[in-house]
Structure 1
Amino acid sequence: MNKAIGQQQTLDQISVTALKGVGANLAEKLAKIGLFSLQDVLFHLPLRYMDRTRVTPMGGLQPNINAVIEGEVRACDIVFGKRRSLVVRMQDGTGGITLRFYHFNAAQKNRLTSGTRLRVFGETRRGSAGLEMYHPEYDLLDEAAPLPLDQHLTPIYPATEGLTQPRLRTLASQALTWLTTHNLRELLPDEVRRQLNQSSLADALRYLHQPPTDANVHQLMEGEHPFQQRLAFEELLAHHLSLLLLRRQMQTNGAPRLKSDSQLHSHFLKQLPFALTRAQARVFEEIAEDLAKPVPMLRLVQGDVGSGKTVVAALTALAAVANGKQAAIMAPTEILAEQHRINFGKWLEPLGIQLGWLTGKLKVGERRSQLAAIASGQAQVVVGTHALFQEAVDFADLGLIVIDEQHRFGVHQRLSLSNKGSSSANQRELRPHQLIMTATPIPRTLAMSAYADLDCSVIDELPPGRTPITTVVISEQRRPEIIERVRLGCEEGRQAYWVCTLIEESEALEAQAAQATAESLALALPHLRIGLIHGRLKPVEKETVMAAFKANELDLLVATTVIEVGVDVPNASLMIIENPERLGLAQLHQLRGRVGRGSAASHCVLLYGSPLSHHSKERLRVMRESNDGFYIAEQDLQLRGPGEVLGTRQTGDMQFKIADLQRDAHLLPSVKQGADYLMAHHFTLCQEIISRWLGKSHVYLQV
């Protein structure tokens, strides 16, 4: 051990280069997987384990397991098939097995002669003549010098190119020896650990890197061992604290107080062709309370498809305008942004409020004039896509941000838009209020952890007159029957959607598929007026088609998934979704929500391609059985995992080393409780816990 390193240093302060055999080259490779200090090495935990502590008789082997076997070589031959291979046949008195090597040399063949005794470790597979192991690890046995078996389970670590498992095991083993002489700080206060009956961190790490032979392998493989749960708790706590600190930082700058103008509010409600539901009114009251405070509102509004979130957003924007502030409404797609522009224009322009419009596809002259209107404050409510948070966009006095379908945007994007808040020389910097909306209900467990920085409101009531949607799952082979059903429905005066899905993430291919489908349906249904909408159309073309469909000038709309959110045509009561097995449950639920908006009985047909996997069957079963977005979200979580459901798999906002939101959901209430306690009584520890688990990935807190 390096004597130059003082006893006073903690393991997070000691570089990996203190380990034997770690020079600059290896340190660079370790840095690629986030290992800079000895503490990092200790927290780089195994993904799974192999049991090399006991020898399994060959007669007791099963396919697809890792096992240690011992026996005698009976034959060793080079076999010429599709590929040349070295085939070794072994026996141990209880049975036999074949070892197969595709990469070998003459010296290896000469060592593996008949009568040689071997200890072999590998994975068993079914072969043409019984069980086989491909490229197993092996040692020659010498009766005069018996080879000891491993004394603990063998860990398998997350790795990268140039880092082998033996090397990672050696480094972890070395790092464990430092635990006896150097301090690994317990960052959880004693009172929290006592309450949760938690073991010491050092004991947990020793056990998980080198589990003893009597360890519960099933628990370890499932991530349910008490020592794993001890670490999962601390990691979930780190994520939770990072969001609470983000919230605190967002609210340190203050925000403009936005008080509701009762007269303007009343005018707005009177011109609506419907009354607010109790749930809409309740949620707006919660928002109004937030807006009246001098700290930024950070509120998530969840509501199932068609629950009326847009009206609540418009009321919120009205409060900003009434106080002389601008409101920005950001949507993830052009088509949803267009839908918002139409709705907000219909509701706000009669009240004398000027709308701005900003997307990435505006022509240069139009973009210039919109940017000028936003910068001068002439545009009081600005609707757009992610183009709103580009550097060139300057708001005169931004008081409110409304973000629709939050899960499509990363935390960074949300924060970069909030930085466009107002500030001037005679006042401290103010941040705009934030209202986040989603029609993709988020399971409570996920909301607790992924949105810990947000207050949550739920619009849990649909407007009166909405009819439940009947969903049926039908094979593509019955396509002619479905086409006939569309014909009958449209001849009775109703309208229908036909949605095309493609696996490829390509607007061009999707557009071609939709075009081909529209042409074939036009041949099969010559008397129907058929429209086509896809992502390759210009905004004005999409708007024209949608306007024609809304005005009942089209009977059938063939579309890609661009109509997933925001499109509202009450007379449309039938939807066909081709290849629904290619979509997630949340997206299917969103699409289905385009029908059932009027009083007519509505139907959704899921036209699947055969054969269906078990996973796809489960998803379609859930869709058939339920219209409840929150139930569907829970099922989606179970089937696809949190990264897919939240849309963060690509953004990197929530990457866990050991915790699993689904498996460890039972820990979240105590995580929340622990986080609140630490924020109140041990604030200095919060940043240390975050740094230990999130490392450099929590830099978005500094935005």
Structure 2
Amino acid sequence: MLSGGCAPIPVTDIKGVGTALALKLQRLGIESIQDLLLHLPLRYQDRTRILPIGSLRPGDEGVIEGQIAASDIVQGRRRALLCRLQDGTGTLSLRFFHFSAAQKNNLASGARVRCFGEVRPGPSGLEIVHPEYKVLKATGSVDVEERLTPVYPLTEGLTQGRIRSLAAQALEWLDRGIVEDLIPDTLRSQWKLPELARSIRYLHQPPVDADLDGLLAGTHPAQRRLAFEELLAHHLSLLQIRHSVREQGAPALKATGSLSVPFIAQLPFELTGAQLRVAREVARDLNMPHPMLRLVQGDVGSGKTVVAALAALQALENGAQAAVMAPTEILAEQHFNNFSQWLEPLGISVAWLAGKVKGKQRSRELERIANGEAQLVVGTHALFQDEVRFSNLAVVVIDEQHRFGVHQRLSLREKGRNGEQTPHQLIMTATPIPRTLTMSAYADLDCSIIDELPPGRTPVNTVVIADSRRDQVVDRVRKACGEGRQAYWVCTLIEESEALQCQAAEVTAESLREALPELRIGLVHGRLKAAEKAQIMAAFKSAELDLLVATTVIEVGVDVPNASLMIIENPERLGLAQLHQLRGRVGRGSVESFCVLMYHAPLSQQGRERLAVMRESTDGFRIAEKDLELRGPGEVLGTRQTGMMQFRIADLQRDADLLPRVKRAAADIEHSPSLTQALISRWLGQGADYAHV
């Protein structure tokens, strides 16, 4: 039920909804009358007036009425019943491929018929295929609809007629006053929001003069009213996570400088102003007696790892442990090598835990982690496993947060519970997240941005070229490697199958070996064993290979300063954020670097737009905004992160301007636990459970 604190009324309370129909509705996410009221139409049909046949054009949809002049069964490629309908202004054919003898008799010459459908060109002029129709009696008139007719999302076995009837019954419950307007009157008046019940009724039964363009665009005030409340419920649910974590308390870690000062002194480079600013923000959070929840965004190569190291050292200065988690073994191993190289000279013991660490070595690492001998632990999602026990975990660093879901992030938190205390969390991403998504998907986190690249990093020149000029691209690789530099060649396939992707990479590597026999060429793809993959990556890093052919497994975190050329085949098949990540693998040294986007013609309009953005900009945030505009939040964030992002009505791109208001409204409402819970239950239902992980 839509009223705040009461239990929802099951959809089976509606007349005619038995077990079989309830199961079909469940496939649409409809289990209660509340769900049915919030199951809004996709679009609307205008059946409020009868159109003259002579005024119709192909693509028009509407109600027509006339007399059948002829009715025949015709034999074309398929047998069909063809009726010629005329109204004095013109003639139109009604074509039925599936029909009964009774239908043929009803639609005989001379019958008066009213029908509805979409007009399209046919073999003998305009026609409607399988119209909805009603044979009219000779006397009396039939009223047209008084409101626009809703067209709802459907599932197999459910018709528009059936769901319209159910929605009409649900609206009768609305008349009984079951809807409680949960947004306080003061806020509704401040933001000029219409009443909830009135908005719901309007959207199911718009009047004849409704703004159809606004409804189709999702910008009608009634839709915005519901979008506002849905965004507010999501925002409040994330704030609940934040508060539940904050209430648990965390060790206050004082920055003594005993490890961080010698660490910074031994680095072979100076920290940028942005790195120092973000490091100070992190250090301030760690000094608090409640858990840090901070997201650090920084473009590829901006130096997030050093900030992570400083956070870990602050834990170690206080005699506690830190953990660093990465989504892939390649990236986790790179972190392990970096941290070992940086911290072991300071007398710090670093442990390594991933799927490939097995047997005695694994037992030994688990023992070192449990007894506190391992001060810093680097690993993959293997750190989540039950057998992993920490002695005194105080700081958790999670790299590439969008690869992990909220559940996983919160389950790692459990690892550090020491009585009532929870570890601090630092979340890092090299995928710039548009501001709209940061405000909605990451409302439980404070955000810092490293918006400055280290000196000596050169912007990457991006070239867009058709694959018909492949030979020129191969020559470019030959020239770059001949001058002592290294190159990547990335293969992408539209198929999801990893096997096919690997096969494509193998074929590409073989053809490049034939074309470039003088080069040392390596191949990395997802089906290689982790040890093989690591071995090839290490060979490339130490310049034992000139050219690395790979699938998108190299997207994140591989650092080879001598690589100055990146070829990406079929870039139109990847998201902009992923292309930006791949491009970030080059330009990591002082040599001028190039990224060649080798597309397969013809490109769609969207494909051209996307590649133009890559050519014109190296600003990760601008690219991320464009990615969101073109692909939507689900794809930009990745499905694992977006379990909570499945909006029924709101659209983050379209409704982005509502987010600042939503944030302010949440600040007013979150002090009322019953109201907060009622809003979350209404919109997220069981989906809000993650807030209590």
TM bin, normalised by shorter chain, reads: over 0.9
Structure 2 unaligned segments of length 5 or more: list them: none
Structure 2 residue corresponding to 1:638, chosen from 611, 629, 644? 629
Measured at CA, do residues 524 and 207 of structure 1 come closer, stay the same or move farther in structure 2, by a change above 3 Å? Answer: same
Cα deviation for residue 551 of structure 1 reads 2.0
Worse-superposed segment, 111-120 or 66-75: 66-75
Moved more, 229-238 or 130-139: 130-139
* Counterpart contact for 2:634–2:642, Cα < 8 Å: no
Cα deviation for residue 73 of structure 1 reads: 2.1
Which of 473, 480, 496 is equivalent to 1:489? 480
2:690 paired residue among 688, 700, 703: 700
Q: Paired residue for 2:271, among 276, 290, 293?
A: 276
Match of residue 571 from structure 2: 580
Partner of 2:162: 167
Q: Secondary structure of the residue that 1:458 maps to in structure 2?
A: strand
Alpha-carbon deviations, 1:310-352, whole Å to 9, x = none? 1111111111222222222121222221221221221122222
Segments of structure 1 that go 5 or more residues without pairing to the other structure are none
Superposition map of 1:646-661 within 5 A: 646-648=637-639, 651-661=642-652
What is the aligned partner in structure 1 of residue 323 from structure 2? 328
Aligned partner of 2:258 among 228, 238, 263: 263
With over 3 angstroms needed to count, the CA separation of the structure-2 counterparts of 1:96 and 1:362, relative to structure 1, is farther
Give 1:153's match in structure 2, choosing from 132, 148, 153: 148
Following superposition, the deviation at residue 14 of structure 1 comes to 3.5
- What is residue 284 of structure 2 aligned with on the other side? 289
Distance 2:161 2:366 in 1: 59
> Which residue does 1:392 correspond to in 2?
387
- The RMSD of aligned alpha carbons is 2.0
CA contact (8 A) 1:10 1:184 kept: no
AA partner of residue 476 (structure 1): D
- The 8 Å contact of residues 643 and 649 in structure 1, kept in 2 or not, is answered as no
Deviation at 1:359, TM superposition (A): 2.1
CA gap 1:348/1:84 in 2 versus in 1, 3 angstroms:
farther
1:686 to 669, 672, 676: 676
Query: In 2, distance between residues paired with 1:561 and 1:271?
Result: 34
Are 2:446 and 1:451 equivalent residues in the alignment? no
Pairing partner for 2:618 from 627, 636, 643: 627
Shift of 1:580: 0.6
Tell me if the contact between 1:11 and 1:38 (Cα under 8 Å) persists in the aligned partners.
no
Structure 2 CA distance for partners of 1:590 and 1:114, relative to 1, 3 Å: same
Q: Contact 1:302–1:456 (CA<8 Å) still a contact in 2?
A: yes
Q: When the two structures are superposed, what TM-score results if normalisation uses the length of structure 1?
A: 0.95
Structure 1 contact 9–182 (Cα < 8 Å) conserved: no
Which residue among 10, 13, 18 is the counterpart of 1:15?
10
**Aligned positions of 1:583-622 closer than 5 A:** 583-622=574-613
The 5 Å alignment of 1:405-554 reads 405-424=400-419, 429-554=420-545
**1:164 to 1:261, Cα distance in 2 relative to 1, 3 A:** same
Shift of 1:528: 1.5
Deviation >4 Å, runs of 4+: 8-13
Counterpart for residue 112 of structure 1: 107
Equivalent positions of 1:199-238 (< 5 A) are 199-238=194-233
TM-fit CA distance, 1:125:
3.0
Which digits, 9 at most, give the CA deviation of each residue in 1:360-408, with x for residues without a partner?
A: 3333443333333322222222222222212232222221211111111
> Closer, same or farther in 2 for the Cα pair 1:358/1:152, shift >3 Å?
same
Distance 1:101 1:380, change over 3 A: farther
Say if 1:12 and 1:37, in contact at 8 Å, map to a contact too: no
> Which residue does 1:132 correspond to in 2?
127
TM-score of the superposition, structure 2-length normalised?
0.96
Given that 1:153 and 1:212 are in contact with CA atoms closer than 8 Å, whether structure 2 keeps it comes out as yes
**In the superposition, relative to structure 1, how do residues 264 and 650 fare at CA in structure 2: closer, same or farther (>3 Å)?**
closer
Q: Is the 8 A contact 1:49 1:153 kept in 2?
A: yes
Distance 1:56 1:572 in 2: 67
CA contact (8 A) 2:112 2:138 kept: no
Q: Is the aligned partner of 1:316 residue 2:346?
A: no
Aligned to 2:192: 197
1:379 corresponds in structure 2 to 374
Q: Distance in 2 between matches of 1:154 and 1:265?
A: 67
Residue 88 of structure 2 aligns with which residue?
93
Identity %: 65
SS in 1 for 2:595: strand
**Which letter maps to 2:574?**
L
In structure 1, C-alpha distance between the alignment counterparts of 2:647 and 2:275, rounded to whole Å: 36
**Matched residue type, 1:132:** E
Measure how far apart 1:648 and its partner are: 3.2
C-alpha distance in 1 between matches for 2:9 and 2:509: 65
Is structure 2 residue 58 aligned with structure 1 residue 67? no
Name the CA distance, whole Å, in 1 between partners of 2:308 and 2:360.
Answer: 29
Contact 1:11–1:184, Cα closer than 8 Å, also in 2: no
User: What count of residue pairs does the alignment treat as equivalent?
Assistant: 692
Aligned match of 2:38 in 43, 51, 60?
43
1:185-225 deviations in whole A, cap 9, x for unaligned?
A: 11111111111112211111111111111111111111111
Residues in 1 aligned to 2:326 and 2:390: alpha-carbon distance in whole angstroms: 18
* 1:298 is aligned to 2:288: no
8 Å contact 1:530–1:558 — kept in the other structure? yes
Kindly state the Cα deviation for residue 101 of structure 1 after the two structures are TM-superposed. Answer: 2.2
Residues 699 and 529 of structure 1: is their aligned pair in 2 closer, same or farther, counting only changes over 3 Å? same
Q: Pairwise mapping of residues 325-364 of structure 1 onto structure 2 (< 5 A)?
A: 325-364=320-359
Amino acid at match of 2:211: N
Separation (CA, whole Å) in 2 of partners of 1:126 and 1:387: 61
Q: How big is the shift at 1:641?
A: 0.7
1:278-319 Cα deviation digits (max 9, x unpaired): 000100100001111111110000111111111111111111
Partner of 1:561: 552
Q: C-alpha displacement at 1:662, in angstroms? A: 0.5
